[in-house]
Amino acid sequence: MKRRIVQIISTVLIAALLVTAFGCYGSFQLVQKVHKFNGTLGSKWVNELGFIVMVVIPVYGVASFIDVVILNLIEFWSGKNPMAVNNGTQTIFLPQGSVALNGQDNTYTLRQTIDGKEKIIQLVTKDGITTATDETGTVLARSARTADGGVTVYDGSGNVVSTLTQAQVESMVN
């Protein structure tokens, strides 16, 4: 699992380097939409929990990769970013498929279709706990507030991935 995350991060960084080396800089609409979505989850604590879960899954990493490698190139050549349209469900069309994000009432669904195979991740926030599950209901990650105001992030097996104190969370928010 750790090796895969390192590979994903390395790929994103290399892609970002390659694209920025050619001077293609866009508006990063997808990352902005994910960030705005994250800000609608609830209080600042719930938003932070959602942020941590989206970093662990890695929703932000995938959104950044798609923005850097695909959407910003489209924006560079056409002058228009496909994510600039706001109509409920946000869909990004890729050569092999698509990725769609839809949300309401503290439940958000990320639907990925690649080569005809669909993968669904659902984020549900309830009582200060944000849970990410796949289409079978298997828990992929979970985050919860601690008694002292911090945040603990768990993987799908319930193992602690990270624990942040209240001061750490506040410094990240500010």
Q: What DSSP string runs through 75-122?
A: HHHHS--GGG--SSSEEEEETTEEEEEEEETTEEEEEEEETTEEEEEE
Question: Where do runs of H (alpha helix) occur along the chain?
Answer: 2-21, 29-38, 44-56, 59-66, 72-78, 166-173
**pTM of the predicted protein model:** 0.44
State how far the Cα of 157 lies from the Cα of 11, in Å rounded to an integer: 26
Per-residue pLDDT of the chain (174 residues; tens, 9 = 90+): 667 776 777 665 565 544 444 445 667 778 888 888 888 887 888 888 888 888 888 888 888 878 777 777 667 666 666 666 544 676 767 677 777 777 666 677 877 777 778 888 887 878 778 888 888 888 888 888 888 877 888 888 888 888 878 777 676 655
Domains identified in the chain, total number: 1
The domain of 12 spans 2-173
State how far the Cα of 120 lies from the Cα of 132, in Å rounded to an integer: 10
